[in-house]
Structure 1
């Protein structure tokens, strides 16, 4: 019998999005929706296990109704068991009430892997052993694999799985060694069948499907910012009787972020740019657009119509146009200022320095008004 696993984590339920005040509630709710999407995808594939590799919640102190909401979604999983590992955001330190409260809400099939011990899954009809590395604090220069390294022998099981939360060296940024860093070699030396990690919000490996690989980082099922350019994913992993691995990335996200920069010299370039943006899932796009360049005066006045088209189609748009200016040429100067006047002469003298010319033009127009 093969073991079918849906691997997720870093949902950060309860995350606030104060930098997006107009859509903060939608983005917060989207994380619960993403968890629901993961459960649906797992059920469609007949997954035996739903594995959450840390940071189910954004912090160790969270309101009880949010815990209940998460449990309600997880209860819809149709497989044999749900394994939940405390991460560095929702760590288990024996002081916080998060996981003790969570345990009061769950029934049967959910295991909180907050102890450094092998968890046998025979009671769920699965001949598998899970070796967790739960976080007990927000930051640590040491990972939590030590107890697994010191095992005298493994319990008898068909499958042996490591579940850990922390930075994977060479993949997850951890410049100061603050995030439970571990290496691939360190993991593989444990001689287990599969290693399911959480922490980085990018999936690893960086492939949509993979065979024969043993180490997976879940990424996040719902993007959370401009540095998270994917659409939200989870891993579906099958481990067959011969311990051979087949895995594929599953899209689970609701919204996606796009951070774009462009230089424009005509209205037609702006129109083409916006058409390209709108051609790809605009209705779920959270866009930050930085523009620079110069447009002819008659076209500059029309740019706002294009921006309105963009805002109308995208879920959310923020446009930085501080460096998108009117093209100052001889005709513009002659039309707006009398020949041989001080403004006329000043702008002519600054033709070689566009930045200074634009600043002078702006100041002169303000004085006129």
Structure 2
């Protein structure tokens, strides 16, 4: 049995205010080409089809046209679930009037989680599709008031799915979750309330031969080789600059063992961070990539972004290296001085920021300023 595993399309998303509609169109074309080339038995989208519960009409039309082509031009079965960015009801509505022999679409949670059963020469393969659901919805669905975190939701879903597995069937689970040990990026929305535990242990999926995950945007396996994130097809933040995005082509043999090949995407616009002197960056090759410029100039410049955009029209962000370094230091520094010695605190701060100790004249100025403050405090 061959699977093509994708996830986290986030149709309708923008990159720093710039539309990604054309970028997504290219990605959907590449997915369709991969289906036609590699002929998977099952095409999987593991949640976050859209970027928000009420996506733009253009994104809905774009996805509907894509699904129509998959149905008309390929023989692949389709399995997809709602993610935490999606409206479960919207995704669930897509299952109306679909061919249940060829499609499994899950939006809202279901207590009676029946799989899609497909067969190959080795026998049946059961595919369970477990959409993302919030704790309150899961408590209502499963009649269990003890459900209080994402792991409890997954446990209830997996338990419900196991009840419908045919004897001896190989089992594929599609889920949208943050599995413990996964690699996150800036683009993911937390799955738990503030202070809650959003991670799920990988042993929640014991018994599954392949777990097709969505939510985390970098392609990687977690816990076990067969528990895998396909990742998002596009980078949605500069922390993902240089990362290779891919879909996972999975061959499931008669014993339930998997062989996984990453099929790289070719985005129309990359995401890059350029670092250097402003004059040097202006001598680079023109590019439509999304650009973050980190200037190493000592002094601030007047409207450098305007000039950069003449060469890089999609330049989105500009910072100075000295400012980024100061922020890094402030987040990592372990202050050795106590607050009872403010002069020492100031000296350590200056040393960390500038990589050199303050000179005598600066120390005298610091001492004088602190002395003036003490005098003011004494008069209050």
Normalised by the length of structure 1, the TM-score is: 0.66
Residue of structure 1 equivalent to 2:7: 9
Q: Which residue number corresponds to residue 112 of structure 1? A: 105
Query: Which of 261, 264, 274 is residue 251 of structure 1 equivalent to?
Result: 264
Please tell me the root mean square deviation across aligned C-alpha atoms, in Å: 3.8
Question: Contact 1:35–1:73 at 8 Å: present in 2 too?
Answer: yes
Question: What is residue 211 of structure 2 aligned with on the other side?
Answer: 195
1:59 maps onto 2:52 in alignment = yes
Say whether 1:76 aligns with 2:76. no
Partner of 2:173: 162
Partner in structure 2 of residue 102 of structure 1: 94
For residue 121 of structure 1, what is the aligned residue in structure 2? 117
Aligned to 1:361: none
Query: 1:82 & 1:33 partners in 2: Cα distance?
Result: 20
Once the 2 structures are TM-superposed, how far is the Cα of residue 219 of structure 1 from its aligned partner? 0.7
Q: CA deviation at 1:235?
A: 1.2
**Structure 1 residues 54 and 240, CA, compared in 2 at 3 Å: closer, same or farther?**
same
Change (3 A) 1:216 1:100: closer
CA distance in 1, matches of 2:236, 2:54: 20
Which of residues 133, 136, 149 in structure 2 aligns to 1:136? 133
1:138 positional shift:
9.4
Q: Does 1:289 align with 2:293?
A: yes
1:79 is displaced (CA, Å) by 3.2
Of 141, 149, 155 in structure 1, the residue corresponding to residue 159 of structure 2 is 149
Q: Which stretches in structure 2 are left out of the alignment for 5+ residues?
A: 137-147, 185-189, 323-358, 363-380
SS at match of 1:42: helix
Length-normalised TM-score, structure 2: 0.64
| Residues 100, 53 of structure 1: alpha-carbon distance in 2 compared, 3 angstrom cutoff | closer
Q: How many residue pairs align between the two structures? A: 292
For 2:125 and 2:259, the matched residues in 1 are separated by: 18
Compute the displacement of 1:178 (Å). Answer: 5.4
Q: Aligned to 1:320, which of 313, 318, 321? A: 318
User: Could you tell me which residue of structure 2 aligns to residue 227 of structure 1?
Assistant: 239
Q: 1:178 to 1:247 in 2, by over 3 A?
A: farther
Cα 1:35–1:245 shift into 2, 3 Å: same
Q: 2:203 aligns with which of 174, 177, 185?
A: 185
Give, in whole Å, the separation in 2 of the partners of 1:16 and 1:322. 24
Q: Unpaired runs of 5+ in structure 1?
A: 207-211, 325-349, 354-369
Instruction: Indicate the residue corresponding to 1:240 in structure 2.
Output: 253
